[in-house]
Structure 1
C-alpha cells in the first residue's frame, strides 16, 4: 500500500474528528505503520490533541516506536502527556521478561554476565545497512550490535527519555508538583524490576540531569557493552512551547529549593533501592565489598598470597564492574545536586523526623523543602561511598565532610541503621549484606583516619562493641564476619582504661551464647596478656626501657593476677556436669557447639604454662592449683572424648555422628590436651 493510501493519511482531520481519528490509529497501528504515524505527528495541532492518548498504545511497540513517542513528548500537551507517561511507568510488567531469564541467576566465581555472553561469538552477529563503514544506506554486512534489552527495560528507558523533554517544556509557578509525581512513578517502577538495573540507573541519571540542567556530561561506560545508551532524541527539531503556560510563570527561589530537594531525595532512594537489592552470589561478595577493598588497599600485608582479591574481581569481572559504574554515576550525580555530607549524616540518624517511605507510598506534593525526606539508608550508603572512594581512588580532596569519629558518630549510625541489641529485635546480622558492608566499611575508613573519638561512658563503649561483636558472630557472610571482628578488636584495644577492657571481655565470656564470639574473647585476653607481659620483664617487677635503664613494671591489670583470677572460671570452666553426667546425646551437642572455644582456651593455657617469665607476675602456679584446672577442665575433656568414641561404636548412641571429619577434630583436641599436660612441668622448673 502506498503511504498516501494509508488510513492514517486519508482520515486526517478535518476528514474526521480527533476522537474518530484516534480510533482509526488504534485499529491500524502496527510496526509497518509507525513511519507513517511519525510523519503525521509532525503536525503540532494534531499531536497536541491526540498525543497523550497514543502513549500507552505505542509503548508495547518499543523500540520501533521511539520516534513517535518523542514526537509526542516534543509536541503534545506536556501536562497531559506526563500523566500518561507516569501511568505507563507503573504499568510496566517486569515479571514476564525477568521470570524466565536464566542469565540473571546468581553467578559463581569466574562466571560471566549475561550481557557478555550476548556479545560473544556464541550469538549470531546482527546485520545492518552500512555505507562506507557508517550505518545508513548501502550494502548489508555483519556488524556487531549490542543485544536487545527486554521490552520492559526498554519501556522504562524510553519513557524516562520522554520525561526529560516534557519537564523542560512545562512553564508554571509550581513545577515541583509535576516533578514530585514523576519521581514517585519512576521509583515505583524501578523498585518492581530485578534485572538490567544498571541500564535503568543510567537512564535515571540521564533524566535527572536533564530535569536539573546539570552541566556535567554523563560518564561513558568503561567496559560494559550492555550499558550502552539505548535511547536518543532522534528528532532535532525544538520542542513546542507549553500551550497552557501562564504569562507570569516566574519560579520562586523557594520553588527551586523544593525541586532540588526532590531530586536529592529521589537519588538517595534510588541508591537505597539499587544497593539493598543487589543479587546475591555464591562467592561471598557482599554489596559493593567496600570493606574488603578498603582493607586490601590499606593493609596489603593481610592479603593471602596468590589469591584473587576482591579489588581485582571488581576491576575484571563484568557483573561487579557494572556495580561500580552504576554507583559511581549516582554518587557523582548526588555531588552535582549539592547533596552535602552533613545532610546525609543527619538523614541517616534522624529517624523520628524523617520517616521512611516505600516506593508505593505517595502523598500530596510537599509544601516546602523541609517536608521532603532523604532516604535514611540511601544517605548512609552515599556517605560511605564517598568516604570509601577517598581511599580506593586517591580522591580525598573531593570529599571534605564534617568531622566523623567512631564514638559517638559511627555508634549513632550503627544504632539507627542496624537492628542493634538495644532494640530487642534479635535480627542483627540478617540485614541486607550491602548495608552491613557499608556500615563496616565506614568504620574501617574512620579507623584509617585514626578518628576513634572518646566514649561518653563505659556503657556507650560496651554497647558499640556488643553490636559489632554480634555482627562478627551472626552475619551469614564470612567476609563480613571477619571485618566485624577486626573492627571490634581494634576498638576494644583502643580504650585507654584496661579495667573497662577487662570488664567487656568478662561479660562476653560469661554471657555470650555464641561460640565463635567466645573464641574471639579468648583471643582478646591472649593479646592483652602478651602485650602487658613482654619477655623483657624481670622478676615481674621491673622491665628495661629502650635506653637500657630499669623502670616500673606495667601498670595494666593484665600484668597482674587480677585479670586471670576474674576470667579463669569462664576461660577454663568446670565441665563435669555438661559433658559427663548428662545423657550422651545432650553432652555431644554441648561438646560440638563449644569445641572451638575449648581449643582456644587450651592453647591459651599452653601459652601461660610455657611462658616462664609470667609465672611469678601472674601467679600461674597458684592459678593452676587453686582452680583445679587439671581435674575440672582437662580431665572432663579427656573422659568425654573416650565416652563419645565408645558411643560411636556399632550399636552406640552416636554411631550416626561418626565420620572422618569428626574423628580428626577429636584428635586435634586430644593432641591439645597432651601438649598442655606436658607443659605443666614448666611450673616446677
Structure 2
C-alpha cells in the first residue's frame, strides 16, 4: 500500500466496509481492518492513530454481530498501539482490547489472549547484539585499539532499549491480563478447570520470563497483577464440614448422612432448592487445587530466581563483599553486579525475636549481620507479596498439615521420569489429588505460615521430621546453594528446637546423627550470608548440646578434626570442646566439686581420644616447598590459633590442670614435639612475609605460643 492513504480515507474505508460487507463475511472485514491498522501504526501520527481507533470503537459498539466475530483477531492487531507515547492513543487501545474481551466470542478471545501472553517479548534481540559484538571485536582487532567512550555510549543505548522494551511489554501484559480477567468468567464450560489449567500454565510462563529479564520492582508489579487475577478466578468452596475431605489418618469421621425426612418427597422437592451435585464440588476443589499449585510454583520462582541489583545496603552486596574478602568489583564482570534470589530472613527474625531476644545485636557496633537485617527491612514489598500468596492459599483450603507432609516426603529421583515426559503428553488432572504442589514453594509457604501463626501447636522433632526436610532440600536437592531454601530450613529447625519436640527420636546409629549435623556444619562454612553461617553453626551447637550422650559429642569433635576440609569448622569444634571442658570442670554453686564429676570432658579421656587430631604433626603438614608450606600455614591458621588458645587455657586453669591430663608428662612431651616446636619454627621462618594482613595474624600466633611456654615453666616445673 502506498503512503497516499490519509486518515480520512482510512476512516471512511473501515466505516463503509462495516456497513456493506455481509455479517457472515466477517473474515473479509477483519482483513481490511488488519491492513488499515497496520498501516496506521507504521505511518500515521499518534493523533491520527487515535482517531482511527476511536472510529473502530464506534463501529464495534454499533455492529454487535461484527464485534462478536472479529474481536479474536483484533487482540494481536491492537497490541502494537500500546507502545504509543500518546496517552490518548494508549487509553483507546487499552479500551478496545478490553472491549474485545467483553463483546467477542469468549472462547476465541480466550485463545488469542493466551497466545499473545505467551509471545510477549521480554528479552532483547540477543542474536542481533551478538552480531554487533562480533563486528566490534573484528574492528578492534584490526585497529588495535578500542574506542572506550564509543563502547560505553553503545552500552547505555542498549540499556535504554532494554528499558523501553520492558516498558512496552509490561503495558501489553497488563492489558492482556485485564482482558483475560474479563473473558474468564464469560466462558461457559462443563469443566472450567481445563480452561483454568491452560490460563495458569500460560501465566507461569510469563512469570518465568519476567524474573529472567525484569528488575525486581517490575517483577513485583507482574505478580501483584497475577494475584489479582487469582483472587478473581478462585472458586467459592463449599462451607462447613463438607468444605474439605475428612482425613481418616488423623482420626476424623466423615459427616453422617442426613436424617430421613417425614415431609412428603414431592413437597420437599418443590419447596427446597436442589442440592449441589458432588460432581460440582469435585470440579470446584480441582480448580482450587490448580490455583494452589500455581501459587506454590510462582512463589518458588519469585524467591529463587528474581534478579537483585547490588547496592551498598543490599543483602546481596553484603554477602558478595564477604565472599570477596570484604571487597566487590562490580565492573570487572558483567554479572558481578547482580544476583538471583530473595531471602526473607525467617530464621534471622526468629533468632532476633525469640531465640536470642534482646541479645542478637552487638552493643555499640554495626556488624555484617546488622547490615543484612537493615537491607531486608527495606524490602517490605517482597514480604507483602509472600503474605498475599499465603493468604490466597489459606482461602483455597491449603493447611499446614499438608505442607508438613509434602516437605517431609522424600521423593527419590526417577531415572525414566524425564524420558517418559519427553515422549508422552502428561494428561490433564481430573481430580484435586492429581495436582502436585511445588516442593520448594511448599517449603516457603510452610515457613511463612508458621512464622505468622504463633498459636499453631508445632509438635515436630529434629528426628525424624527435620532430618527428612534437610535431606530433601539440602542433600537430595540443590538447597545448599540456594539461600532462601537454607533460610526456610534453618527457621524450621530453630522452631522445632525452641517450641517443638526438640531432638525427639534420636537415631541409634551415631553416623546418622553426625551426617545430619555435618549438613549444617558445611553450610556454616560455605554460605555467603554471615547470618546464615552464624545460624547454621548455632543449630549444630544446639543439637550437640541437647544430645544426652557425651560420647556422641566427642565423636563429632573427633570426626570434624580428622576429616573436615574446612578449617573454620575445625576452629569451631575446638571452641566447642573448650566450652564442654569448662562446663564439666566448673564447680557447682553448692560445693567446690565439679557439677558433672563423671563427665568425659572433665577427665583425661577426652584429650587421650583427641590428642593426635587436636595436636597434629605440624612438621609433616609443612613438609613441602616454602610456597606450599606458607599456603598450608595460612589455611590452617584459624585451627592452630584456636588449639593453642585451648592448650594455654588448660595449662593455666586450676580446674583443669589436675583433671583432664594436660600436665601428664607423656602428653606434654608429645604436644611439644609434634605441635608446638614445629609451629614455632614455621612462624619464625615466615616472620618477614607480608601478605594481606597475615603478618599481624602471625604475630598473634607467636604471642600465644610464647605465653604457652611461660605457663609451662610455672606449672610443670
Q: What range describes the TM-score normalised by the shorter chain of this pair?
A: 0.7 to 0.9
| Separation (CA, whole Å) in 2 of partners of 1:510 and 1:203 | 55
Match of 2:66 among 38, 46, 50: 46
Q: Aligned pair in 2 of structure 1 residues 6, 323: CA closer, same or farther (>3 Å)?
A: farther
Q: Aligned pair in 2 of structure 1 residues 505, 54: CA closer, same or farther (>3 Å)?
A: same
> Which residue in the other structure is 1:388 paired with?
451
Equivalent residue runs for 1:180-329 within 5 Å: 180-194=197-211, 195=214, 196-213=218-235, 252-280=280-308, 281-284=316-319, 287-298=343-354, 299=356, 300-305=358-363, 306-307=365-366, 308=370, 310-315=372-377, 317=378, 320-329=379-388
Q: Conserved in 1, the CA contact under 8 Å of 2:343 and 2:483? A: yes
Where 2:306 maps in the other structure, the secondary structure is coil
Where 2:318 maps in the other structure, the secondary structure is coil
| Separation (CA, whole Å) in 1 of partners of 2:538 and 2:665 | 31
> Which residue in the other structure is 1:438 paired with?
488
| Separation (CA, whole Å) in 2 of partners of 1:575 and 1:608 | 20
| Separation (CA, whole Å) in 1 of partners of 2:665 and 2:105 | 88
Question: Which stretch shows the higher mean deviation, 81-90 or 624-633?
Answer: 624-633
Residue deviations 1:93-114, cap 9 Å, x none? 11139999xxxxxxxxxxxxxx
Match of 2:621 among 567, 578, 584: 578
Where 1:352 maps in the other structure, the secondary structure is coil
Q: Aligned residue pairs: how many?
A: 570
Deviation at 1:354, TM superposition (A): 10
Where 2:664 maps in the other structure, the secondary structure is helix
Match of 2:429 among 354, 366, 377: 366
Where 2:124 maps in the other structure, the secondary structure is helix
Q: Aligned pair in 2 of structure 1 residues 549, 303: CA closer, same or farther (>3 Å)?
A: closer
Q: Aligned pair in 2 of structure 1 residues 3, 288: CA closer, same or farther (>3 Å)?
A: farther
> Which residue in the other structure is 1:346 paired with?
405
| Separation (CA, whole Å) in 1 of partners of 2:512 and 2:72 | 59
Equivalent residue runs for 1:502-651 within 5 Å: 502-534=554-586, 536=587, 544=588, 546=590, 553-579=596-622, 581-622=623-664, 625=667, 628-645=670-687, 648=689
> Which residue in the other structure is 2:140 paired with?
none
Question: Which stretch shows the higher mean deviation, 167-176 or 42-51?
Answer: 42-51
Match of 1:8 among 14, 34, 46: 14
Q: TM-score, normalised by structure 1?
A: 0.77
Q: Aligned pair in 2 of structure 1 residues 624, 272: CA closer, same or farther (>3 Å)?
A: farther
Q: Aligned pair in 2 of structure 1 residues 566, 449: CA closer, same or farther (>3 Å)?
A: same
Deviation at 1:488, TM superposition (A): 1.0
| Separation (CA, whole Å) in 2 of partners of 1:634 and 1:568 | 13
Residue deviations 1:162-189, cap 9 Å, x none? 2222221122221111111111110011
Match of 1:673 among 673, 687, 705: 705
Q: Conserved in 2, the CA contact under 8 Å of 1:354 and 1:374? A: no
Residue deviations 1:294-339, cap 9 Å, x none? 2222223121235355444433x3xx22211221211111111121
| Separation (CA, whole Å) in 1 of partners of 2:658 and 2:648 | 16
Equivalent residue runs for 1:41-80 within 5 Å: 41-42=60-61, 43-62=63-82, 63-64=90-91, 65-80=93-108
> Which residue in the other structure is 1:36 paired with?
55
> Which residue in the other structure is 2:123 paired with?
95
Question: Which stretch shows the higher mean deviation, 365-374 or 35-44?
Answer: 35-44
| Separation (CA, whole Å) in 1 of partners of 2:392 and 2:412 | 25
| Separation (CA, whole Å) in 1 of partners of 2:124 and 2:54 | 28
Equivalent residue runs for 1:170-185 within 5 Å: 170-185=187-202
Deviation at 1:157, TM superposition (A): 2.6
Q: Aligned pair in 2 of structure 1 residues 549, 633: CA closer, same or farther (>3 Å)?
A: closer
Where 1:150 maps in the other structure, the secondary structure is helix
| Separation (CA, whole Å) in 2 of partners of 1:49 and 1:469 | 65
Residue deviations 1:536-594, cap 9 Å, x none? 2xxxxxxx554x59798532211111111111211111111222x32222211211111
Which segments of 5 or more consecutive residues in structure 2 lack a partner in the other structure? Answer: 1-6, 42-48, 83-89, 129-163, 238-275, 309-315, 321-341
Which segments of 5 or more consecutive residues in structure 1 lack a partner in the other structure? Answer: 101-146, 216-247, 391-395, 537-543, 649-657
Where 1:366 maps in the other structure, the secondary structure is coil
Deviation at 1:3, TM superposition (A): 11
Question: Which stretch shows the higher mean deviation, 500-509 or 439-448?
Answer: 439-448
Q: Which protein is richer in helix relative to its size?
A: 2
| Separation (CA, whole Å) in 2 of partners of 1:665 and 1:58 | 69
> Which residue in the other structure is 1:492 paired with?
544
Q: Aligned pair in 2 of structure 1 residues 304, 619: CA closer, same or farther (>3 Å)?
A: same
Match of 1:454 among 505, 508, 512: 505
